Structure 1
Amino acid sequence: MSYRQRLSLLFFIDSFIVLTSIFFSRYLLSADLNVITLPLVVSSITLFLSHHAFSFVYKLYKKAWEHASIGELLFIIKAITFSIITVACIQQITVQDIYFRLLTVTWMLHMLLIGGSRFCWRLLRNTYINKTVIKKRTLIVGAGSAGTMVARQLIKNNESELVPVGFIDDNVKIHHLDILGIPVMGGVGQIESAVKRLNIDNIIIAIPSLSKKDLNHIFQACTKTKAKTQTLPKLEDLVSGKLSVSHFMDVQVEDLLGRDPIDLDIESISGYITDKVVLVTGAGGSIGSEICRQVTNFTPKKLILLGHGENSIYSIEMELKDLSGSTSIEFITEIADIQDVKKMMSIMNKYRPDVVYHAAAHKHVPLMERNPEEAFKNNVIGTMNVAIAASQSNVDTFVMISTDKAVNPTSVMGATKRMAEMIIQDMDKNSDTKFVAVRFGNVLGSRGSVIPRFKQQIVKGGPVSVTHPDMIRYFMTIPEASRLVIQAGALARGGEIFVLDMGEPVKIVDLAKNLIKLSGNTLEDIGIEFTGMRPGEKLFEELLNSDEINEKQVYPKIYIGKTSDLYMEEIKEMISTYTTLDKENLRAQLLNLANNNVIPIPKKLISIV
């Protein structure tokens, strides 16, 4: 119905009620309408005019009555009351008398008929018109202020495809009660039974302040059902007004790590980044580009984006310029290969950076097994080139990105990263530059990680390929990894290997199951196929060697590993001879050197980081 049609209909209904109500009131009081007096006619006309005048003042014809509440009822009361008072004044002026009984009955009829017409409008809309729309039955987890707000929004919003039919809340005091006419079915443990009893299609987790650990607990209960699970936006997005409670979001796999991200020490980070020159190698990669985004928040004087791929460097440059807006940050791009020592020296001498984040590396385990010489050139020789150039240019802080695969490495990639750690730890002993490494586990969503691969397989209809049913990994998000790198620079004293408390390791098969569920499919639809472990892989990763373990945190959720033995003479010897070795001999020597005199870490100590 158009606005004009709606206005005309409401105007006609009100006009009929107003013009006839005063006569009907007379009939109710005296049961006699044979004599229609002039004061009665004047009163009826006055009532007609005054009612529409006050209706205009209080915008009664502009209200969306299908969403009416107490506020709209008050406007009706005011319009009717003031129009009756106007008639009383006219009666006093014209006949020096006020027909109190007549006007009282008229007021009551107006309230009943005009208010009732609006209620019928809403009832008709909700009960009959909207019955043609098939809505999804929705279970709301959380019956607090956010949950009730969601329910109220869904009830009022006739265009929503969701209809709330039940609450879940762990507060036993409200179990089996009704909120907004919706029953509270029980706690999280009753989600599966509630979904079956109420024939639920959708589940909304309506607890914005929920920790990741609690969210994971609730989500795992939801995975036992076939209902689609969504959640509210983050609390900061609700508070800032960026999103409303009606913007439901699919649960992301990053939300299920069971660990809340670390908080940054803003003051200490600003002290070594703000108004400084910062250089990032591998700036176009997953970690490097996110480091650039995070660094931009601290307004460096210059940010140098160094990378080998022109397209990725161009993309991050354009993104950062849009992100920084009108700030005075100067973004500089350098297309260069870290294996080119002269180029590294030239760039460092040209810009004289204060801080270097070294994120450039070859990291794909199976590919590096087949190309050990490339892994050695990039991860070992390239790191040495950048580190020497940084030292000679008097860089203040050098932070290298490492991996948990560098601990007791069984792969070429892990071995070369362990050797890179040795290089920067040795450099720290002979340089004024503070050299540190940051070691973390798998990064969700990074290039080459399992998440994009799993998603591609799910889109194609499956199956999802998992190497081994018992394989576990530590996981973190790209922003988390980048924040750790930046915080490590503020904590650096020189020579440390920083490690994030990554919580409990995650089974890869469980990760695959969660992704299948989050995509709206079932395990039966997609399936999981076990393909066997690939060359260089381990069933589980450690984060520290046994001789590196230091149980004390230097910052919430951040540990420092103790310095272990360094084998620089052997590394230098390998640099001079690696071109004479075939792939198998090179791989064997890399693993032998990286694992020299290293005692496997006891499993009971894995949980400290």
Structure 2
Amino acid sequence: MFQIIATLPRKYKILLMLICDVVLLPLALWSAVALRVGSFDPDVSSYLWLFFAVPFVTVPIFIRIGLYRAVIRYLDDKIIYTVIYGVTLSVLLLLAVVVMGRATALPRSSVIIYWVIAVAYIVSSRFIARGLMRSLERIEDHRQPVAIYGAGRAGLQTAIALLSGPEYRPVAFFDDNEELRGRNVAGIRVHDPEDALEVMAVNNCRQLLIAMPSATRTRRKEIIQKFEGKDVVLKTLPGMGELVNGRVRIEDIRDVGVEDLLGRDPVPPFQDLIASCILDRSVLVTGAGGSIGSELCRQIVQNGPKQIILFEQNEFALYKIEQELRKNYAYLEIHSVLGDVLNKEHLLKTMNQYRVQTVYHAAAYKHVPLVEANIIPGVRNNVFGTLTVAQASIESGVENFVLISTDKAVRPTNVMGASKRLSELVLQAIAKSEKNPTRFTMVRFGNVLGSSGSVVPLFKEQIRAGGPVTVTHPEVTRYFMTIPEAAQLVLQAGAMGKGGDVFVLDMGEPVKIVDLAKKMIELSGLEVRDPLTGAGDISIEYVGLRPGEKLYEELLIGDNVEKTHHPRIMRAVEGMIEASILFSKLELMRQACEVGEVEKSKLLLKELVCEYKPASELIT
């Protein structure tokens, strides 16, 4: 019977609750009179009409104060205050009715007793209905049970959002605040985090949602590490700055990623550095649709440019970043330009048309094996593309030029790294030899989590497919940084150069790729398969180093590095090539590329980048 009632449309449920009140209110008055006279059969014949008047007086008040608008299954303690308020008003009106109706036989003190009993009856009816509704839901609920770490505002909003959704059913809260433990939040009990695994096991729950968006990355990392390897799937909310007006939506929930585990607490940006190259300026970003380029665009538009020019060769990538920026920054001048960085005339026209003052050159081919297999396109795009953009910047009077470089440019073992190192040498030579209005700066950093060249998306896909997760070598090690942090530091470093500077970002501690793979498997709530016993869910396989790949990446060619006034930006002091020597060799390389002479191009690359040692020539 109750199951049928639970499936009724809301308007019928409201009607049932109203009928219940029409019955309970006269019953409360009769109970009050019976208690007052001490009899189960009080004589009420002289004021029997009053029992019919009570619901007609009280129900309209309940309707007016919104008592029937509450959703029964989500009732909280506030309903008690609403009922008390409504019953108090009805008692005052009832006293007026008694006086005007001359119901002298009614004991006056029974009205006070009626107030107490009516509140008890109405409140009890709501909580009994809520309990029955939730019990029925638990019996029929096919949603996945989830526990929530954090019983603050974000946790409460999350629980309410989940309760009304079809996917998850919150079963427990965990919180570091001892004062909250043992209490109920949104009808869900708050437990000690130390008892988390036991509580989750009792509730048959394998998913934990970390609802602490204002916590530091260090604190979130500590919480995540507690549950590593515990057969728990971790999910999280984005940072507080990403939540709109503090309101939590179901779509904001995501799986905990390695960025939550490897990411560091960010250093607040130095606004004076960012403003010097961006504020009220015309800014152009090449490779604007790429992972680094698009994040640069997102952060540039937040810092008050006069206009931003998105220069990109890939039509779809350009469309995506343009649509995103126009949606969020409709007031800003955004210009999208489809173009190739090797087309100097197009670059010059674009820079002159929009009077570009700052250029961030992020366009590059960066996939090591692909560039290794396509040497000439890689050299042309990375080296001559940089040269072309630099020359166009000088001729059009650009004030600041920032090259996005890579740690693979340090003692490179592949064409991609060597071409990026040669790009640095080109800009260093230009900065030293020519009297021009453009200040050239290079910023070098390692891998960014989630970029198109990162192993993280590959590992996620492999884990989703059931494995195996492929790692090139058990000892391969890389530096990692989140894309937003990398982009923010690039914007600041670009403003610190005097001309020809190479800046290196503090990437933190290097991470073994195999350890990264293990963490990602465990964060998915799975176990790494033991190669001897076969126990576990996902296996890790070693497939050998890819063409041109190094075991370890470095950020400095030598040991000579200078500190800057930013704690995570250093200035590298490295050698360079005189312009007269460099550009004559570059012309030979250009000619070799034009006629498709791969070996000659590679030899010239080795000659110009003296640290370049192809992986095939290294003794392992």
Q: Identify the TM-score tier after normalising by the shorter chain.
A: 0.7 to 0.9
Q: Deviations over 1:332-360 (max 9, x none)?
A: 5142342x445545555555421122222
Cα deviation 1:451-480 (Å, max 9, x = unaligned) = 233333334432221101111111223333
- For the Cα contact (< 8 Å) 2:413–2:612, is it kept in 1? no
The one-letter amino acid of 2:138's match is N
Residues 268-323 of structure 1 deviation map (CA, whole Å, 9 limit, x = unaligned): 43343233332222233332233233323344344333333344334444443334
Corresponding residue SS for 1:546: coil
Instruction: State the SS of the aligned residue for 2:379.
Output: helix
Deviations 1:383-437 (A, max 9, x none): 2222223223322111111100111111111112111111111211223321110
Q: Matches of residues 128-527 of structure 1 in structure 2 within 5 Å? A: 128-134=136-142, 136-142=144-150, 145-146=152-153, 149=156, 153=160, 161-165=168-172, 167=174, 169=176, 178-180=182-184, 182=189, 184-187=191-194, 195=200, 199-238=204-243, 240-243=245-248, 248-327=253-332, 329-338=333-342, 340-341=343-344, 343-345=346-348, 347-348=350-351, 351-429=354-432, 430-432=434-436, 433-519=438-524, 521-523=526-528, 524-527=536-539
Relative to the length of structure 1, the TM-score reads: 0.85
Task: Give the 3-state SS of the residue equivalent to 2:565 in structure 1.
Answer: strand
Cα gap change, 1:582 to 1:152, in 2 (>3 Å): closer
- Which TM-score applies when normalising by structure 2? 0.84
Q: Which moved more, 1:413-422 or 1:44-53?
A: 44-53
- Cα distance, 1:109 vs. partner? 3.5
* 1:77-92 equivalence runs, <5 A: 77-92=84-99
State how far apart, in whole Å, the 2-side matches of 1:185 and 1:27 are: 48
* Equivalent in the alignment of 2:531: none
Q: Which residue of 2 aligns with 1:565?
A: 576
Map of 1:606 onto structure 2: none
- The answer to whether the 8 Å contact 2:33/2:107 transfers is no
Question: What percentage of aligned pairs have identical amino acids?
Answer: 35
Deviations 1:137-163 (A, max 9, x none): 4443345x3476369648976967323
Q: 2:157–2:247: 8 Å Cα contact kept in structure 1?
A: no
User: Retained in 1: the 8 A contact 2:401–2:439?
Assistant: yes
- Distance across 2 between alignment mates of 1:453 and 1:597: 28
CA pair 21-414 structure 1, distance change in 2 beyond 3 A: closer
Counterpart pick for 1:549 among 561, 566, 577: 561
Are 1:154 and 1:163, in contact at CA under 8 Å, matched by a contact in 2?
no
CA 1:382/1:152 → structure 2, altered by over 3 Å: closer, same or farther?
A: closer
What's 2:70 paired with? 63
The alignment status of 1:46 with 2:53, answered yes or no, reads yes
- Tell me the amino acid that sits aligned with residue 253 of structure 1: V
CA 1:115–1:500 in 2, change beyond 3 Å: closer, same or farther? same
Aligned-residue offset at 1:244: 5.2
CA gap of 1:23–1:556, structure 2 versus 1, over 3 A, is same
User: What's the counterpart of residue 119 of structure 1?
Assistant: 127
Query: How far 1:330 moved relative to its partner?
Result: 4.9
CA contact (8 A) 1:277 1:302 kept: yes
1:195/1:573 Cα in 2 relative to 1: closer, same or farther (>3 Å)? farther
Q: Provide the rounded CA distance (Å) in 2 between the counterparts of 1:215 and 1:344.
A: 45
Query: Is 1:587 matched with 2:594?
Result: no
Alpha carbons of structure 1 residues 376 and 574: separation in structure 2 relative to 1, 3 Å: farther
Aligned-residue offset at 1:224: 0.9
Indicate the larger mover: 43-52 or 17-26.
17-26
Q: Which moved more, 1:254-263 or 1:429-438?
A: 254-263
What do residues 466-504 of structure 1 show as CA deviations (whole Å, max 9, x unaligned)? 101111111223333322222223223222112221111
Tell me the distance in 2 between the aligned counterparts of 1:147 and 1:488: 35
State the AA in 2 paired with 1:526: I
For structure 2, the 5+ residue unaligned runs are 1-7, 529-535, 614-620
The 2-side partners of 1:93 and 1:246 are apart by 58
Alpha-carbon distance change, 410 to 120 in structure 1, aligned in 2, over 3 angstroms? same
Change (3 A) 1:588 1:163: same
Distance 1:351 1:20 in 2: 80
Whole-Å Cα distance in 2 between the matches of residues 36 and 185 of structure 1? 55
Match of 1:605? none
Matching residue's letter, 2:83: I
Q: Is the 8 A contact 2:478 2:510 kept in 1?
A: yes
Please tell me the root mean square deviation across aligned C-alpha atoms, in Å: 3.4
Q: CA deviation at 1:509?
A: 1.7
Task: Spell out, residue by residue over 1:99-146, the C-alpha distance to the aligned partner (whole angstroms, 9 max, x if none).
Answer: 223334433432333332222212221234532214544443345x34
Q: Output the amino acid matched with 1:536.
A: G
Which deviates the most, 351-360 or 585-594? 585-594
Change (3 A) 1:454 1:569: farther
C-alpha separation between the residues in 2 aligned to 1:115 and 1:240?
33
Tell me, yes or no, if the aligned pair for 2:155 and 2:212 is still in contact at 8 Å.
Answer: no
Change in CA separation of 1:63 and 1:479 when aligned onto 2, cut-off 3 Å: closer
Whole-Å Cα distance in 2 between the matches of residues 326 and 151 of structure 1?
33
1:7 partner amino acid: I
Distance 1:241 1:47, change over 3 A: same
Residues in 2 aligned to 1:431 and 1:163: alpha-carbon distance in whole angstroms: 66
| One-letter amino acid of the structure 2 residue matched with residue 572 of structure 1 | F
- Contact 2:154/2:248 (CA < 8 Å) preserved in 1? no
Q: Distance in 2 between matches of 1:345 and 1:74?
A: 71
Check 1:126–1:562 CA distance in 2 against 1; reply closer, same or farther (3 A cut): same
When residues 48 and 393 of structure 1 are mapped into structure 2, their CA distance, relative to the original with a 3 A threshold, is closer
Counterpart CA distance in 1 for 2:11 and 2:300 is 55
1:177-234 per-position Cα deviation (integer Å, ceiling 9, x unaligned): 52327363454xx655665566432112232222223323322332312222112332
Letter in 2 for 1:69: D
> Amino acid of the residue matched to residue 207 of structure 2?
N
- Are the counterparts in 1 of residues 161 and 250 from structure 2 also a CA contact under 8 Å? no
- What amino acid is aligned across from residue 44 of structure 1 in structure 2? F
Report the Cα distance in structure 1 between the residues aligned to 2:426 and 2:158, rounded to whole angstroms. 59
Number of corresponding residues = 588
Q: 1:553 to 1:192 in 2, by over 3 A?
A: farther
Amino acid at match of 1:291: L
